[in-house]
Amino acid sequence: MRGTDPKALIIHDLTRPFDSSARDEAIKEAPLGQYFVAYIGGDEQRGANPASIHFHKERELGGHHVYGVSWRSADGRVWQATYAALRRADGRWDVYGGGGGSGDDPRRGRPWVNLSCGGRPLHFGGRVCEAPQASRVRVVYGEHTLEDDVDETRWVLFPTNLPNELMQE
């Protein structure tokens, strides 16, 4: 998505209606008795109530912004995700991301970060879990070390200027 206000673009992405047609078609075509159906989706979290969208934290590096966002979907479920925005030379923004999931942090019995990554340039972000005393998080990515302070939101965000070799041109 491209536009002049990155937060408005994220809100637009989150509030677009959920189209279940691909999922429903995959289920309809599944062999009788099959309980698991593979389809490319992820839009179940869309259809957010605009009043519920909350931007918890934002970090920036050279025009590359990363946001920690939560919201309630139309069915009342809580979701959270990391979005990124990159300012282009013409002043407009490209927004991408949405890496995340349910608003409930899974329990693992040890400190960890529920981290997502993606985009071009690469970004990381997520929530610190089961570590109430944590004050800083360090991510080591190859030869690169990224750090962020843990604040009351428990979100840590890592914008970078690194290419993402995992994404195809």
What confidence score (pLDDT) does residue 125 get? 94
Any idea which residue has 């290419």 for tokens? 163
Which structure tokens are listed for 85?
Answer: 């925005």
Tell me what the mean pLDDT of segment 60-68 comes to.
93
In whole angstroms, how large is the CA radius of gyration of the chain? 17
For residue 79 the two structure tokens come to 């979701």
| Model confidence, pTM | 0.80
Q: Is the pLDDT of residue 31 over 90?
A: no
Greater model confidence, 119 or 164: 119
Place of tokens 């041109």: 169
Residue 67, burial from CB neighbour count under 10 angstroms (0-12, 13-18, 19+): buried
Q: Which residues pair with 70 in a beta bridge?
A: 54, 80
Return d(Cα 114, Cα 149) in angstroms, integer: 15
**pLDDT tens digit string along 104-143?**
777 888 999 998 888 888 899 999 999 999 999 999 988 9
Q: In sequence order, which residues have a C-beta less than 8 Å from that of residue 157 and are 6 or more positions away?
A: 57, 58, 59, 66, 67, 68, 82, 123, 124, 125, 148
Res 39: pLDDT:
45
Rounded to whole angstroms, the Cα distance separating 117 from 66 reads 11
Q: Determine the longest span between alpha carbons in the chain, in angstroms.
A: 54
Instruction: Report the pLDDT value the prediction gives residue 98, as an integer from 0 to 100.
Output: 63
90 Cβ contact list (under 8 Å, min separation 6): none
Q: What is the pLDDT of residue 1?
A: 60
CB atoms within 10 A of CB 78: 13
